[in-house]
Structure 1
């Protein structure tokens, strides 16, 4: 059963149907070979079938590719992780003057810059779009001082992409091809729509199974989330991270823990250089996920076993689907048990919720937390460019312990964890979806 692709094709189709996933592509590296299968449709409006050579948006998994690009430049001696961004990008600044001077490449690649980093700004399709985006970061506030904590930061990776442009003398898209795609022979990995459309391309599906109103993200946020690829290409990229010298001389350096994550239930418990890190059943797990408009990608590596798995989907209850699939696959390949996601405790936990009520806000999101008869309710509203693209969500929260709560959508089996942090300074944070959102009212 380990490499029985007919079996996994059947399981992929069955699990996708149960989780209402329109289409999915799976690739996994086992016993030195890449195995692939696919199921469903690329677009429910057209019925075009998913094939193993179909391209999906991998979203924020792109960040590992950008981190790899920058680490290739570190290995060449052009910069170090302690190089300040301002030393590579003269004039670089965010709203906080001290942060502008202090932020290093390590801060960017570990999500510890403190930059309020969900600026989804369209600066056009020109080759200067990343440069123009970084200039617009001058208005971004700090959620915390640089290096003080961890908060997932899209803007930080666009800034890293601009550093790559300055060091390579070419645009990020072209540098990506020259540094990674061409050396690894990845012929189904692209960033621009006119390239993607030469292949079968997935369309995202949103709430209710409707086809998304927009296909992709602006080119300006490319280094943070614009890659489209086949599952096989994603696994081939991961394979290079399991093989010293295939791309990086020391890819293991990227999976050394750099910072603990305040909400360890969102993904990994720690963060490395571009990678999320965790331990499952005694095995180190190195991973990244990515969401775009109705599409979701997940990449896992177990370095101790030489295994890598990529699952790409275009809608439905994707987190549920991917959790069940990776659980079955790792159990069959290595008898590894994947931990169950966080869930409400068997016995209710009594917590005074009043200190957590209020308004929390960061770029792209405003969160209202209210007390309803001793229970918290969280309403998240998209702001800025995300209005109309991301839904407003309301979650009724159940306490797990004094600072951790969980909630889920009515039709979802997966719980979302919310962790509240109160500091001696009086500053309060809500940690959800990897982001630290400060309390503003």
Structure 2
């Protein structure tokens, strides 16, 4: 497969219009590395195996691991209230302020509205300032009743680490993971990344208007790394080298209401799924025009990380995984959910209305009897995403799929109710309440 992937990677980046990509995988104890394309279409610099890409939210597994290390050292527990470590911590709901725990943060079950992207400066106090700004964050859903992806929660988790360790999150990362594993191409700050070849994100066919996210997003998504370093990190979760009990992070904590996108369950940091009866732990990441995916199969020991800097990046990484794991382990990556062969008749009118949370507004309406979805970004990143409208196609009574004209892959949306009857839609790993 090694030689074949060396040929297939450039073919796949051409097919999915990806400017550049890098891939590393571990199979039967041997590491393989590949790269193709360019890091920046404006400069033409080649992508190489040692190039640093933004791995985005894969960073969350690293932050979760750092907290698990603190737990193993007896500094706190998964069910320790955040306020016990951060006495000044506050969100809009006073009861959540008092009772939200580390477990809630690391499993995306806190209900804290999770897409607050706020630039609090480049100073070493940026994470502290971000957490102070969370005082006005409302609940996306009641504490612990469902799963909704929460970037804010992981920055709060990063602040917990800073207070426990008495140093910056960036330094805790270096001292507790990067240095013990001997990683040489894993950094968080632009001035360190600039010492290496570094990928530039691309949007709408050209270089993105900015290189990266604000520093306050660090614990939630600012690691830059070569794929081989990310594979080495995951290998420590399979084979040991960081945690005394890494499998504790693979224990299911919550069912994902929409299991068709990322996986079926969330563990501590990790997304959990099953392919052909084999447990799979994974995580993905998206920044401004960059995308990365990490998969590990504990039963076979195979690990793969692929990084990209634009184009149809999600479809690309799925195509790489589909070919790679079929060849290496004989595993079938579940295909993206699409429309059923036989059309399904559903009363979609009951789902019509506005669904809104921090950073996003979704409107479901009927046009000639057919449901349509309009998605709009709001907040700090609104200018980077144009509003998008798509027809919803029913798969069953609560599940619909849709896609944009530019994207070859379908996305899924699941309409459901919380135990108290509140209507929600689960899309893009997030639970969004119906507000109108």
Coarse TM-score class (shorter-chain normalised): over 0.9
Secondary structure at the residue paired with 2:384?
coil
CA distance in 2, matches of 1:150, 1:34: 35
Contact 2:114–2:153 (CA under 8 A) maintained in structure 1: yes
Contact 1:205–1:316 (CA under 8 A) maintained in structure 2: yes
Contact 1:26–1:231 (CA under 8 A) maintained in structure 2: yes
Once the two structures are superposed, what CA deviation does each residue of 1:306-328 show, in whole Å capped at 9, x if it has no partner? Answer: 11100000001111111111111
State which of 402, 409, 418 in structure 1 corresponds to 2:413. Answer: 418
Counterpart residue number, 1:322:
317
Q: Which runs of 5+ in 2 are unaligned?
A: none
Counterpart residue number, 1:68:
65
Measured after TM superposition, the shift of residue 425 of structure 1 is 3.5
Q: Does 1:347 align with 2:342?
A: yes
Counterpart residue number, 2:245:
250
Matches within 5 A, 1:271-310: 271-310=266-305
Matches within 5 A, 1:191-210: 191-207=188-204, 209-210=205-206
Contact 1:352–1:374 (CA under 8 A) maintained in structure 2: no
Counterpart residue number, 2:125:
128
Contact 2:145–2:418 (CA under 8 A) maintained in structure 1: no
State which of 16, 31, 36 in structure 1 corresponds to 2:33. Answer: 36
TM-score (norm 2): 0.99
Secondary structure at the residue paired with 1:242?
helix
Matches within 5 A, 1:382-421: 382-421=377-416
Matches within 5 A, 1:40-55: 40-55=37-52
Matches within 5 A, 1:172-191: 172-191=169-188
Q: Which runs of 5+ in 1 are unaligned?
A: none
CA distance in 2, matches of 1:63, 1:49: 28
Counterpart residue number, 1:81:
78
Secondary structure at the residue paired with 1:388?
helix
TM-score (norm 1): 0.97
Matches within 5 A, 1:134-173: 134-173=131-170
Paired residues in the alignment total: 436
Counterpart residue number, 2:227:
231
Measured after TM superposition, the shift of residue 390 of structure 1 is 2.7
Secondary structure at the residue paired with 1:333?
helix
Matches within 5 A, 1:16-27: 16-27=13-24
